[in-house]
Each structure stands twice: as structure tokens, then as C-alpha cells.
């Protein structure tokens, strides 16, 4: 049996509180215009940002992330470089980690509110739930709230993922997933392309017209992957820390 002194116990309790506590979140979804890439989208876009991978230390929201992916992550790019923005994303991630049901009730209510306005105006809205994470939010929303958001009119859901099982699960559905190629999943990327899926690849220089026999489209023109043609490579130019990548995450072109 471990006997802790009073001051030691207080330290342990304070540490646990610091890790698990979070503040109420006003909005889980951010307007896409706050991101330089989603601001290019043809449709108004809302995006969910969490603290990526194992940033908060108690949960990994990017379980398939490679070392190259983590080092090249754009988490700290743009507004993400500001401490208050990073702290807000950490707070949301703690909300997800320690009050899963509350998190999805709030997220679902925000989505339904967005859809309500879209129906009133006739507007089409794009929603990306994994801005800096790789979670099957669609499935978890349905599990915790009973709402199938893919059946909501006027909303277009899309994401990038390194989870090949999610690609197979949602292939030909209203949830458009683009597989993210990394230095450790080339075989999966090729398999998905051969099965009619799309794969995002990061290149060091100018984008080639084709790569490994597949057409390459410019993925930097817009982030909205929903309307991409099938069976293509979504080419992205290396940005930020990715320009210095030596892991193989970035394809040297």
C-alpha cells in the first residue's frame, strides 16, 4: 500500500485536475474563413480543430499518424501558431477525451443549427470534422445522439484520413474521404487508388501531371474534396516544416 504525505497527495490531485479539467466550449466548429486553405472553398465551410496526435498526453486523436506526418503537421501554421488558439484546441480535445457524450451532443446541436440556417437560405454548407485529427466522428455522433448527419440535406461532409478502414467503410457514401499517403503506407495508398478512391500526396516541388500512372490534381486550389473526380491523386505542395522533411513523407519531385 502506498502512503502519500499530505503535500504529495495534494500535488497528485492538482496534476490530475490539470490534465482532466477543461472549460466550457462555446463553439466546437470554426468558420472555414479562418483557415487560408478552407477560405478558398466554393462553399461556406465549418471545421473542427483538435490538438493533433497525442498532444495532450492522455489520448491520441491521430492513431495512424506517421513520424513524418507529425513532424510536418500544419497544426502550428497560420492562426495555429498563436498560443491562445493552441490552448483552445487543447481544451476542445480534453472535452472530447473526458466528456465524450457531452462533446457529441454539442457537436450535433451545432451541425443541426448550421443545417437549419442552410435550409432557410437554400445554401449548401461543407463540414470538415477532422481539421487536425483522424476520428470517425460520423459514427460516434450516431452512437451518442442517434443522428445520422449524412442524411441531413444541404450539408456536405468531407475529410482526410490515414485510416484505410474508414476509406473502405465510407466509399461511395455521402462522406467523402481522401486517404493521406505517408512514408509508411504506400501500399495502402496504391490499393485505395486501384479500388477507385482518392489519395492526397505531398510533393516537394511542382506537382506532376501524373504519378505512378494516376492523374494528379492540384489540391491547393481548394480544400473542398467533396467534388473531386474519382480515382485521382490530390497533389499538395510541401509547406512549413514539411519542406525540410527527410522521412519520405514528402515525395521528392
Which pLDDT score, from 0 to 100, does residue 15 have?
Answer: 42
CB 157 within 8 A of CB 118: no
C-alpha span between 234 and 14 (Å, rounded): 46
Cell of 163: 485510416
Name which of 64, 65, 46 is nearest 131 in CA terms: 46
Report which of 133, 64, 129 is spatially closest to residue 93, judged by C-alpha positions. 133
Domain-wise residue ranges, the chain: 24-251
CB atoms within 10 A of CB 33: 13
**Which single residue is written with the C-alpha cell 504525505?**
5
Q: Is the distance from CB of 196 to CB of 230 less than 8 angstroms?
A: yes
- Tell me the Cα Rg of the chain: 19
Q: What is the pTM of this model?
A: 0.86
Q: What is the model's pLDDT at position 150?
A: 97
pLDDT score at 67? 76
Confidence at residue 9, expressed as pLDDT on a 0 to 100 scale: 40
Q: Which parts of the chain sit beneath pLDDT 70? A: 1-20, 70, 72-82
Amino acid at each position: 500500500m502506498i502512503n502519500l504525505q499530505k503535500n504529495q497527495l495534494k500535488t497528485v490531485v492538482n496534476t490530475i485536475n490539470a490534465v482532466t479539467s477543461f472549460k466550457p466550449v462555446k463553439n466546437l466548429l470554426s468558420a472555414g474563413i479562418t483557415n487560408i486553405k478552407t477560405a478558398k472553398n466554393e462553399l461556406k465551410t465549418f471545421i473542427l480543430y483538435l490538438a493533433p496526435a497525442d498532444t495532450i498526453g492522455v489520448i491520441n486523436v491521430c492513431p495512424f499518424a506517421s513520424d513524418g506526418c507529425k513532424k510536418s503537421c500544419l497544426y502550428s501554421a497560420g492562426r495555429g501558431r498563436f498560443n491562445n488558439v493552441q490552448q483552445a484546441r487543447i481544451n476542445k480535445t480534453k472535452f472530447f477525451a473526458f466528456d465524450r457524450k457531452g462533446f457529441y451532443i454539442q457537436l450535433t446541436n451545432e451541425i443541426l443549427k448550421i443545417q437549419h440556417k442552410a435550409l432557410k437560405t437554400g445554401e449548401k454548407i461543407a463540414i470538415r470534422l477532422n481539421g487536425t485529427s483522424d476520428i470517425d466522428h460520423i459514427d460516434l455522433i450516431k452512437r451518442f445522439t442517434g443522428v445520422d448527419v449524412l442524411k441531413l440535406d444541404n450539408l456536405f461532409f468531407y475529410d482526410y484520413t490515414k485510416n484505410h478502414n474508414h476509406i473502405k467503410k465510407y466509399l461511395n457514401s455521402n462522406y467523402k474521404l481522401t486517404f493521406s499517403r505517408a512514408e509508411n503506407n504506400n501500399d495502402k495508398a496504391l490499393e485505395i487508388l486501384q479500388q477507385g478512391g482518392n489519395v492526397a500526396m505531398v510533393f516537394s516541388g511542382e506537382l506532376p501531371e501524373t504519378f505512378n500512372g494516376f492523374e494528379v490534381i492540384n489540391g491547393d486550389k481548394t480544400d473542398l474534396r467533396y467534388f473531386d473526380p474519382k480515382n485521382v491523386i490530390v497533389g499538395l505542395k510541401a509547406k512549413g516544416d514539411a519542406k525540410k522533411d527527410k522521412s519520405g513523407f514528402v515525395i521528392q519531385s
